Amino acid sequence: MNVAIIGLGLMGGSMALSLKKLDFIDEIVGHDHNKKHQEEALQLNLVDKIVPFEAIKNYDIIFLAIPVDGVIAVLKQLTDVNKDATIIDLGSTKAKIVAAVPKEIRKNFVAAHPMTGTENFGPHAAIEGLYEDKVVVLCDLEESGEHQREVARRIFKALGMKKYFMGAQEHDRHAAFISHMPHAISYSLANTVMKQEKRDNILALAAGGFRSMSRLAKSSPYMWEDIFRQNKENLLEAITLFEKELTQMKTYIKNDEWEKVHEEMAYANKLHDILD
């Protein structure tokens, strides 16, 4: 099978590196609206060649590794793909994307969210093995064609990913708590410090805890603005519930209720009993 990847940043570039190891993939080509990204992708040997957008439509598998608003726009331009083509998007939101898929290519389309990534972006951020041993959520898979379902399953299995299946609406609510809200908090934390502390103080005093919590603030504003917009209601609910928890902790500290503070922290410790 031949693969075309639209978007040659972290997700698309890493996908290209992983697909190169699969014996059933013959050719990997790329397309990116950013000319510099095209040049870098070729220099880094992420793809075999760069092709114009129209040529993408002739490939067996088309990955959409672009911001989620861009996914919706591009899908409208892919209504004349080959009937057996498989279009797989890798976006972090799903409900609005699924709802926007043109009916002519609904069977061609597979909604996927690989639960992986880093705070870096662009072709140089591509990492070999980024997808290995990670979760991929496949949404509303019953609406995809039988051939497309099999292609998606085969690829993600070959990449060593753990497959989970759920509806797009359910996915978006979970993602708001697990992924989207932490990004909003990280951006806000970074801005809080930037507006209070001088540069030299930040460099001198910022240790592991702050660096860990602010790491996500390095993520692309272009990509995350789209994600926040598409998942606005779920994100607002998650932020509201977080504000409630933070206010509760603030109240306990203000009132010197240290036993309560300890209980809150001890309960939070249980999260990593699950994750680890």
CATH number assigned to the domain comprising residue 188: 1.10.3660.10
Do 21 and 152 lie in one domain? The reply is yes
Domain total for the chain?
Answer: 2
Structural domain for 220, as ranges:
171-275
Residues 109 and 150 in one domain: yes
DSSP per-residue letters across 180-236? IHHHHHHHHHHHHHHTTS-HHHHHHH--HHHHHHHGGGGS-HHHHHHHHHHTHHHHH
pLDDT tens per residue, range 8-18: 999 999 999 99
For residue 194, pLDDT over 80 is answered with: yes
Categorize the per-residue pLDDT at 197 as very low, low, confident or very high, splitting at 50, 70 and 90: confident
pTM assigned to the model? 0.88
Q: Are residues 14 and 124 in the same domain?
A: yes
Percent of the chain residues topping a pLDDT of 70: 100
6 in Cβ contact with 32 (< 8 Å): yes
Claim to verify: residue 155 and residue 267 sit in the same structural domain = no
- Report how far residue 218's alpha carbon sits from residue 235's, in angstroms, rounded to the nearest whole number: 19
Quick one: 16 and 143 in the same domain? Answer: yes
152 pLDDT band (50/70/90 cuts)?
A: very high
Q: Is the pLDDT of residue 169 over 80?
A: yes
Number of CB atoms found within 10 A of residue 89's CB: 28
Q: What pLDDT is stored for residue 115 in this prediction?
A: 92
| Tokens found for residue 87 | 């279009």
Residue 181 sits in the same domain as residue 149: no
Q: Rounded mean pLDDT of the chain? A: 94
The set of residues, in sequence order, having a beta carbon less than 8 Å from that of 263 and lying 6+ positions away, is none
Residue 99 half-sphere exposure, CB side, CA atoms within 13 Å? 9
| Same structural domain, 225 and 91 | no
- Can you give the pLDDT at residue 199? 79
Domain boundary among 166, 198, 213: 166
Domain boundary among 132, 166, 200: 166
Residues 144, 193 share a domain: no
User: Residues 152, 97: one domain?
Assistant: yes
Confidence of residue 119 (pLDDT cuts 50, 70, 90): confident
- The position carrying tokens 């309560």 is 260
Average pLDDT over residues 84-99: 96
Percent of the chain residues past pLDDT 90, beyond the cut: 87
Q: Tens digits of per-residue pLDDT, 22-45?
A: 999 999 999 999 999 999 999 999
Q: At residue 272, does pLDDT exceed 90?
A: no
CATH number assigned to the domain comprising residue 9:
3.40.50.720
Question: What sign results for the dihedral spanned by CA atoms 144, 150, 153, 159?
Answer: negative
What is the structure's pLDDT at 228? 97
The least confident of 78-82, 161-165, 269-273 is 269-273
The mean pLDDT value for 175-187 works out to 96
pLDDT at residue 200 greater than cutoff 90 = no
Task: Please check the confidence at residue 155 and state whether its pLDDT lies above 80.
Answer: yes
pLDDT of residue 256: 98
- Same domain (yes/no): 91, 202: no
The answer to whether residue 93 scores a pLDDT higher than 80 is yes
pLDDT of amino acid 196: 86
Position 273 scores a pLDDT of: 87
Q: What does the pLDDT read at residue 120?
A: 85
- For residues 153-179, average pLDDT: 96
**Among 144, 166, 188, where does a domain finish?**
166
Q: Residue 208: its pLDDT value, please? A: 79
* pLDDT tens digits, one per residue of 204-221: 887 778 888 899 999 989
Q: Are residues 109 and 21 in the same domain?
A: yes
Strand order in the sheet with 86-89: 49-50, 27-31, 2-6, 61-64, 86-89, 109-114, 135-139, 162-166
The answer on 179 and 54 residing in a single domain is: no
